[in-house]
C-alpha cells in the first residue's frame, strides 16, 4: 500500500487532496505546515504538525503549502510532488507528465497548470486543427483559500455599500470582470466565481483540411450544450462543446474545467497510479 503525506492539509487544496486520496488504496497522513493553532486542532479534519519522524517510511510527500521548517524535506529519500502555485522550477522538478503514472527513477515533479493541461487536449479533441484564439474565463479558485476568503470579504463589503478592501487579492474581484493583458492569442478574464473555469476558443482549420470532432480522451466528456461554470465545478471531467461553421473550416469550442478538481486532483491520482 502506498504511504503518503499531504503537507498543508489545512488549506483548500490540502483538504481536497486528503478527501480525494483517503478513499483510495493508500495510507494518507494529513500534516499542517508547522506547529498547529487552536483552529487546526479543533477543525473537522484531523491534522498533525510535521516532524521528521513522521516522514520516515513514507513513499510520497505532496506539498499543498510550504512547510515552516525549510529543512524538513532535506533528507527525505522518497518522491515529492510539489503542487504549490509558486513552486520553484529550479528545485521542484519537471512538470508532471500529461499521461501515464509516475515514471521509475524520478523523485520530484511539480504540478502543471490546469490551463496547460486543457490546451494540450485540443489536437486530440478536434481533427484538422489550425489556428486557435480565444478567452479564458478564470475563477478565483486558483488563489486557494486566499482567493475564496478574499472574494467573500469583498462581496460582503459591496452588499453593505462599502468599498471592498483589495489588499489581499490585489484587485477588486466582487461583481467585477477583470481582463488581463493578452498572452499571444489568449486573453484571461478573471471572473467573480469561486470554482469552474471556461475556455471559449475560436478554431480555424489547417490549410486544405476541415475540423472534425474526435472521441474524447479519458477525463473529458462532450456536452450537449455549452457547459456552465457551476456544472464544471462539480464534475471530475472536463466538459466540452463544439460548434462548427463555414463548411467545418471554422468553429467555436467551449471547454469547462475546475482548476482543482480536474486540474490537480485527477492528474495527481493518475500520477500516483490510484
pTM of the model: 0.87
First to last CA, the chain: 10
Note the pLDDT of residue 44.
65
Q: pLDDT category, 142, cuts 50, 70, 90?
A: confident
Give tens-digit pLDDT for 190-242: 999 988 999 999 999 999 999 999 999 989 999 999 999 999 999 989 999 99
The answer to whether residue 42 scores a pLDDT higher than 60 is no
Percent of the chain with pLDDT over 90: 76
Give tens-digit pLDDT for 162-175: 999 998 888 898 99
- Plot region of 162 (φ>0 → left; ψ -120 to 50 → alpha; else → beta): beta
Q: Let me know: does 173 contact 190? Beta carbons within 8 Å.
A: yes
For every residue of 169-232, DSSP letters joined together read TSS--TT--EE---BTTEEEEE-S-SS-EEEEEEEEEPTT---EEPPPPTTEEE-SSPPPHHHH
Note the pLDDT of residue 168.
86
Note the pLDDT of residue 137.
97
The answer to whether residue 154 scores a pLDDT higher than 70 is yes
**Residue from 133, 131, 255, 124 nearest 205 by CA:** 131
Nine-digit cell at 256? 469547462
Note the pLDDT of residue 39.
65
Q: Which CATH architecture best describes the domain 2-112?
A: 3-Layer(aba) Sandwich (3.40)
CA–CA separation, 7 and 61 (whole Å): 7
**Residue from 131, 140, 141 nearest 253 by CA:** 131
Tell me the HSE value of 15 on the side-chain side, using a 13 A CA sphere. Answer: 10
Range list for CATH 3.40.50.720 in the chain = 2-112
Q: pLDDT category, 40, cuts 50, 70, 90?
A: low
Give tens-digit pLDDT for 43-94: 666 788 889 999 999 999 999 999 999 999 999 999 999 999 888 888 899 9
Range list for CATH 3.30.360.10 in the chain = 118-259
Give the domain 118-259 fold.
Dihydrodipicolinate Reductase; domain 2 (3.30.360)
Amino acid at each position: 500500500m502506498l504511504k503518503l503525506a499531504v503537507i498543508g492539509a489545512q488549506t483548500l487544496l490540502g483538504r481536497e487532496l486528503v478527501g480525494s486520496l483517503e478513499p483510495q488504496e493508500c495510507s494518507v497522513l494529513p500534516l499542517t505546515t508547522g506547529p498547529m493553532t487552536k483552529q487546526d486542532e479543533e477543525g473537522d479534519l484531523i491534522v498533525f504538525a510535521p516532524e521528521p519522524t513522521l516522514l520516515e517510511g513514507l513513499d510520497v510527500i505532496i506539498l499543498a503549502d510550504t512547510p515552516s521548517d525549510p529543512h524538513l524535506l532535506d533528507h527525505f529519500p522518497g518522491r515529492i510532488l510539489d503542487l504549490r502555485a509558486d513552486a520553484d522550477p529550479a528545485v521542484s522538478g519537471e512538470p508532471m507528465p500529461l499521461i501515464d503514472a509516475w515514471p521509475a527513477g524520478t523523485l520530484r515533479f511539480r504540478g502543471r497548470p490546469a490551463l496547460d493541461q486543457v490546451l494540450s487536449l485540443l489536437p486530440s479533441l478536434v481533427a484538422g486543427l489550425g489556428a486557435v484564439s480565444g478567452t479564458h474565463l478564470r475563477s478565483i479558485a486558483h488563489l486557494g483559500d486566499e482567493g475564496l476568503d478574499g472574494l467573500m470579504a469583498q462581496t460582503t463589503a459591496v452588499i453593505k455599500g462599502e468599498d471592498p478592501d483589495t489588499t489581499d487579492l490585489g484587485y477588486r474581484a466582487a461583481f467585477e470582470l477583470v481582463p488581463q493583458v493578452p498572452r499571444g492569442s489568449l486573453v484571461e478574464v478573471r471572473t467573480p466565481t469561486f470554482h469552474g473555469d471556461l475556455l471559449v476558443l475560436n478554431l480555424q482549420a489547417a490549410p486544405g483540411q476541415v475540423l472534425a470532432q474526435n472521441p474524447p480522451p479519458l477525463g473529458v466528456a462532450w456536452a450537449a450544450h455549452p457547459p456552465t461554470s457551476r456544472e464544471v465545478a462539480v464534475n471530475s471531467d472536463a466538459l466540452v462543446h463544439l460548434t462548427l461553421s463555414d463548411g467545418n473550416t471554422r468553429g467555436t469550442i467551449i471547454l469547462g474545467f475546475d482548476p482543482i478538481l480536474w486540474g490537480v486532483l485527477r492528474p495527481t491520482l493518475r500520477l500516483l497510479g490510484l
